[in-house]
Amino acid sequence: MADESGLAGLNALPEPAATQALLACCSAPEWARAIVAARPFGNEEELFAAADAALAELPESEIDQALAGHPRIGARPDSAASAREQAGVAGAADTVHMALAEGNRAYEEKFGHIYLVCATGKSGAELLDILTTRLGNDPATERQVMRTELAKINRIRLARLLGGAA
């Protein structure tokens, strides 16, 4: 969308089109609606602040919808965005892929949702180390860590939506 029109283009989009564009960044409908309602934005930082604030206010059911929009770390990416974000996993050794798959299963069993991490720029081994560390968290701490990671991913995707080099 916004390669040519950036923030001004997002500000000018009709509500349904803006909502659809934002759902490509984060699949929580309430989040997308909150961003649309907060327009216009004067700069990217205002957009990012609104995105962070909207995410902080989301009920757990909406966070679950946001998580549903992400593949498991190490699984086949379901979108170009996910493929780009998980590029560091693609060349990982088979042992790392197998350990990520096992770690994902253990994580989901413990926390009841997928392991979400901002994977951009991280290798498969780094993502496995982060997963292993986070398995030691209690559920409340992990839920907060996951929300923080989701905010990072949202910012990267928003910047890309606007045509930035995130």
pLDDT for the residue numbered 4:
42
Measured distance CA(54)–CA(38) in Å, rounded:
10
Verify that 90 and 54 share a domain, yes or no. no
Among the listed residues 77, 78, 149, 79, the one whose alpha carbon sits nearest the alpha carbon of residue 107: 149
User: What pTM does this model have?
Assistant: 0.91
pLDDT for the residue numbered 49:
98
Q: What is the CATH number of the domain that holds 115?
A: 1.10.3330.10
Q: What pLDDT, in 10s, does the model give residues 43-84?
A: 999 999 999 999 999 999 999 999 998 999 988 777 788 888
Verify that 165 and 121 share a domain, yes or no. no
Among the listed residues 52, 24, 57, 51, the one whose alpha carbon sits nearest the alpha carbon of residue 36: 51
Q: Determine, yes or no, domain membership for 99.
A: yes
Q: Determine, yes or no, domain membership for 143.
A: no
Verify that 5 and 65 share a domain, yes or no. yes
Measure the N-to-C terminal CA separation of the chain; round to a whole number of Å.
Answer: 15
pLDDT for the residue numbered 75:
84
| Token digits of residue 25 | 């960044």
Q: What pLDDT, in 10s, does the model give residues 134-152?
A: 999 999 999 999 999 999 9
Q: Determine, yes or no, domain membership for 146.
A: no
pLDDT for the residue numbered 83:
81
Verify that 62 and 25 share a domain, yes or no. yes
- Structural domain of residue 122, as residue ranges? 72-135
Measured distance CA(51)–CA(34) in Å, rounded:
8
Q: Determine, yes or no, domain membership for 50.
A: yes
pLDDT for the residue numbered 165:
46
Q: Which helix (H) or strand (E) holds 156?
A: helix 139-161
Structural domain total, the chain: 2
Verify that 108 and 156 share a domain, yes or no. no
Measured distance CA(94)–CA(17) in Å, rounded:
41
Q: What percent of the chain has pLDDT over 70?
A: 95
